[in-house]
Chains A and B, each alone.
Chain A
Amino acid sequence: MTASTTVLAAPPETGVRRASRALDRHPRVGLAALLGLPLGWLVVVYVVSLGFLLITALWQTDSFTNEVRTEWTLDNLARIVTQDLYRAVTVRTLGAALLVTLIDVAIALPVGYAMAKVFGPRARATLVIAFLMPLWASYLVKAYAWRSIFIEGGLLSSLGITPGFGEVATIVTLAYIWLPYVVMPIYAGFERVPDSLVEASSDLGARNLRTFAAVVLPLMYPAIIAGAIFSFSLTLGDYIAVRIVGGSTQFLGTLIYDNVGVAGNVPMAAAVALVPIAVILLFLLAVRRTGALRNL
């Protein structure tokens, strides 16, 4: 008997195969090939333009022609620091962002906990859908919905409550709009807390509140901060909801928008925009070690 061996024919040598082998030998080339295009895009469109915004903030606008003149000045930055209007708006916006974040975390903690741990699996699934689905409705429609609630003759005034448009309406509306961005990470965070740890804690004699404070909450910090980053950052820059329900309230966002659109003063808008950028970057830097950024 003769042993038969099958010899696989070597695949034909093509340009593609050569390229593939070259990539095997030089993984750096492969990495560069994969990352070059998207990284180039992001760097040009985002990093370069962020840097360019900083430069623009140091230029000025010709008050006569509204053209940007490339003459260096610290006037814009000085105005933000010294003028009462800018200081007041910055404080108001930061306060609103803080309040919106607190409201959203206060809603998301019990609801997220209930969705993840309290009810049975079937009720849980229904609850997750019932709660999360409408939250993904359009941003604009949500702001509009609150306009029709706060408006004179709307739902609230038919109940005898008349706060009208203003700061209260803005904060409620923004808290409503950004709620999903806070609920999602917090709910996911609760889901990741192992039941065994919670059981061990109560086996060792801790009551529910103690277990929550000493075991569950510390595990939840990254998730809570991840949610807070969103609600805080998104509120800092908002101007659409402020326009729709804020009445004459001014936020940093409305100042930026008015400087670009109405006043045509891009350098001033750029200078104002540096405030939320600086605040967010400081915030991100402060929470980097908590691992919250991986929860975004």
Chain B
Amino acid sequence: MRISKPVRRAFVAIVALALAFVYVPLLVVLVNAFSTSQALAWPPRSLTLEWWGRAAQNAGAWQAVGTSVVVALCATAIALVLGTLCALALDRFAFFGKEAVNLLIVLPIALPGIVTGIVLNNLFRTGLGLTLGLGTLIVSHATFCIVTIYNNAFARLRRLNGNLVDASADLGADRFTTFRLVTLPQLRSALFAGALLAFGLSFDEIIVTQFTAGPGVTTLPIWIFQNMFRPGQAPIVNVVAVVLVIVSIVPIALAQRLEARAEQR
């Protein structure tokens, strides 16, 4: 299709507007993190680094970071095992109900977070009579993280050449040896990318967390949410928000780089 100059110019304008729409809110948060003002006043009267120092000494925020990391690591580890098993099963076998299994893996992320939240809250408290805490939180996060591992592993398995597995079997390796020495090394980078995504997803999650963590467990998003409405806390929340943006973008950027590189090969 030939694209004429006015049409191209129109697209440039649309893309520029869309880019402004995407960047302006994040820039406002960034600038606010250096503003001397205690409230979210715009434009800032002058800039300061003071809040960064205060934020660095905020014990509550650091504790929340620690909790978030522990939860994300555990949830990712569980999801890695379950997601990889699902991908292997759905790649190797044709069976009745395969579509249903596929839907089941996607469901925790396709249904709104509040549904996942209330469903699990109700199961843990009303159904099993458990007290909400770190354990219930990790189980919940692992459930919606399975899909990212599964998606990455399944896409990679699709592209793999079955000849290597056959050759390994011809040379006398049993299935487990073949998996360890042939399949797993080929899957490794896809699993790593999936794990990064799962970690980012868990680190950022607030709705399911509010429903399944109980009052004693504070993750970083919960900490921000709690402090957002407190008067005078705005400057530190701004700083933590900027840090959270960086923490959530970096693993996803890394994961996409890995996938792009794998596709080129």
Contact = CB atoms under 8 A, between A and B. Distances in A.
The answer to whether A and B come from one shared complex is: yes
Interface of A: 8, 11, 16-17, 19-21, 23-24, 27, 30-31, 34-35, 37-39, 41-43, 45-50, 52-53, 56, 68, 107, 110-111, 113-115, 117-119, 127, 130-131, 133-142, 144-149, 151, 153-155, 157-158, 176, 179, 198-199, 201-202, 208, 211, 229-230, 233-234, 236-240, 244, 253, 256-257, 260, 266, 269-270, 273, 276-277, 280, 284, 293, 296
Given A39-B104, A153-B39, 10 more contacts: A16-B176, A39-B86, A52-B126, A141-B241, A146-B25, A155-B24, A237-B112, A253-B114, A260-B121, A277-B111
Interface residues of B, number: 87
A42 B28 contact: no
Given A141-B241, A154-B40, A42 B106 contact: no
Given A202-B2, A208-B1, A46 B249 contact: no
Contact of A110 (B11, B200, B247): B11
A46 B104 contact: yes
Contacts of B81: 37
B195 to A, nearest CB: 16
A138 B126 contact: no
A153 B175 CA distance: 66
B35 to A, nearest CB: 10
Contact of B228 (A43, A117, A144): A144
B82 A38 contact: yes
Closest 6 CB pairs of A and B: A237-B112, A20-B174, A145-B25, A49-B123, A237-B114, A34-B89
A37 B172 contact: no
B interface SS class: helix
Most B-side CB within 10 Å, residue of A34, A130, A146? A34
B211 interface: yes
Chain A binding surface, main DSSP class: helix
A145 B238 CA distance: 9
Contacts, number: 263
A132 to B, nearest CB: 8
B206 A240 contact: yes
Contacts of A41: 82, 143, 146
B165 interface: no
Contact of A133 (B14, B139, B200, B249): B249
B162 interface: no
6 contacts: A34-B88, A38-B82, A141-B244, A233-B111, A240-B206, A269-B118
Nearest to A8: B172
Interface stretch (B15-23, B55-63, B184-192): B15-23
Contacts of B216: none
Contacts of B2: 202, 208
Given A17-B174, A37-B85, A56-B126, A237 B115 contact: yes
B15 A127 contact: yes
Interface of B: 1-3, 7-8, 11, 14-15, 18-19, 21-26, 28-29, 32, 39-43, 81-83, 85-86, 88-89, 92-93, 95, 101, 103-108, 110-116, 118-123, 125-127, 139-140, 143, 146, 172, 174-177, 200, 204, 206-207, 210-211, 221, 224-225, 228, 237-238, 241-242, 244-245, 247-249, 252-253
A138 B1 contact: no
Given A118-B3, A155-B28, A277-B111, A50 B41 contact: no
B8 A118 contact: yes
B104 A49 contact: no
A134 B24 CA distance: 11
Given A35-B86, A144-B241, A149-B28, A23 B175 contact: yes
Given A140-B225, A233-B110, A237-B112, A42 B146 contact: yes
A15 to B, nearest CB: 10
A158 B44 CA distance: 11
A43 to B, nearest CB: 7
